[in-house]
Each structure stands twice: as C-alpha cells, then as structure tokens.
C-alpha cells in the first residue's frame, strides 16, 4: 500500500468517523431537543395552571373571609339566645352615650313571630336633641333592634331647657338552634 493510498484510506476513515459522529449527534440531539421542547411546553402549562389555582385559592380565601365576617356580624346582630342581660347593658350604654335616662324596662317574648324576638318597652327622658341621638344610636347598635312604636311627651322646661319623655317599643331578635 502506497503512501497515497494510506492517506486516502485514513481520510476516508476520518470522514466516515466524522459522518458517524454527526449522525449520532444528530440522532441524539433531535430527540433530546424534542423532549426539551415538550418539557418546556409542559412547564408552561403547569405554570399557567398554578397561576389559575392560586387565583382560585385567593378567591376562596376572600369568600371565606367575607363569610366569616358576615357570620360574626350576624352573631352580634342576632345572638344565639335571648341575652336579656346584654340587651339591658346595650340600652344602658346607648342611654349613657346619648345622655338620656330611663327608669324601667319591660320585656315580653314574641312566640307568634317567625323569627324569635323579644319586645322591650321603656320610657326614656332627655332633651329632644338627645332623644334623637338616642334613636340614631339604637339604629347603629351592633345588636339588631327595631323600633316598633314610639311616642313623645313634652315634659317640663327646667332652666330654659325643654325635656321630653320618649316611650319606645323595641323588638330584639335572637336565634334558636
């Protein structure tokens, strides 16, 4: 074998090895590239799904938070029992805030009502402006109180100040289990 033939066969072998390497590289990288592209697509889909689930979870938490707040407000507005002691304390507190006085309260149970309630009757004394403030405080009280009837009697004028008596019939609701 001559030198020229040897160089030719070595060149051919080198070309064949290079071709084989390129073929292996091609057949190895094409599927790997396809797998990588598929993995990227799956990752993008998973990321989108994660964002959707995060939004849904945030909405559920928000809804649950609202429901919890509403349940707390409902429990305050309409307690689970008659809570007459708390009702007396509420009315005493409202009276003190409005600078209105009261001497007596009477309670009666409303059994004919669809929603259980207590009727509270009482007379409250103070200036007309203070009595109006008292009514506004009743409306904004956390416990649900509904004025069923009201009457006002003008009272004495003491030191130039007009006094009046406000007779109220209130309805206070409660829940039964």
Q: Tell me which residue of 144, 136, 150 sits closest to 172, measured CA to CA.
A: 144
Task: Give the per-residue pLDDT at 65.
Answer: 62
Work out the burial of residue 138: count CB atoms within 10 Å of its CB; fewer than 13 is exposed, 13-18 middle, 19 or more buried: buried
HSE, CB side, 13 Å, CA atoms: give it for residue 159: 1
Give the residue, 80 or 110, on which the prediction is more confident. 110
Task: Give the per-residue pLDDT at 154.
Answer: 87
Q: Tell me which residue of 134, 133, 110 sits closest to 123, measured CA to CA.
A: 134
34 - beta bridge partners?
none
Predicted confidence (pLDDT) at residue 115 exceeds the cutoff of 60? yes
Task: For 93, list phi and psi in degrees, rounded to 5.
Answer: -65, -45
Predicted confidence (pLDDT) at residue 44 exceeds the cutoff of 60? yes
Q: What is the mean pLDDT of the chain?
A: 81
The string of pLDDT tens digits covering residues 128-147 is 999 999 999 998 888 888 89
- For residue 142, the 8-state DSSP code is S
Mean pLDDT of 164-171: 91
Which residues are CB-contacts of 173 (< 8 A; sequence separation ≥ 6)? 77, 78, 115, 116, 117, 144, 146
99 pLDDT band, cuts 50/70/90, is very high
Structure tokens, 25: 């590289």
Which of 7-11, 16-20, 51-55, 118-122 has the largest mean confidence?
118-122
Q: Are 126 and 101 in contact (CB under 8 A)?
A: yes
Task: For 113, list phi and psi in degrees, rounded to 5.
Answer: -75, 145
* CA 127/CA 98 separation, integer angstroms: 10
Predicted confidence (pLDDT) at residue 76 exceeds the cutoff of 70? no
pTM: 0.55
* CA 84/CA 131 separation, integer angstroms: 23
As a whole number of Å, the end-to-end CA separation of the chain is 108
Give the residue, 57 or 78, on which the prediction is more confident. 57
């Amino acid at each position: 074998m001559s030198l020229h033939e040897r160089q030719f066969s070595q060149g051919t072998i080198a070309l064949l090895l290079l071709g084989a390497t390129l073929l292996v590289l091609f057949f190895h990288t094409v599927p790997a590239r396809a797998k990588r592209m598929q993995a990227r697509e799956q990752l993008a889909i998973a990321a989108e799904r994660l964002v959707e689930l995060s939004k849904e979870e945030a909405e559920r938490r928000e809804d649950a938070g609202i429901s919890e707040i509403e349940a707390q407000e409902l429990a305050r507005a309409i307690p689970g029992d008659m809570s007459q002691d708390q009702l007396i304390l509420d009315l005493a507190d409202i009276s003190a805030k409005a600078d209105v006085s009261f001497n007596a309260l009477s309670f009666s149970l409303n059994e004919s009502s669809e929603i259980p309630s207590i009727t509270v009757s009482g007379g409250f004394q103070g200036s007309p402006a203070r009595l109006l403030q008292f009514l506004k405080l009743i409306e904004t009280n956390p416990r649900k109180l509904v004025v069923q009837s009201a009457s006002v009697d003008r009272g004495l004028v003491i030191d130039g100040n007009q006094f009046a008596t406000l007779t109220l019939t209130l309805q206070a609701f409660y829940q039964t289990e």
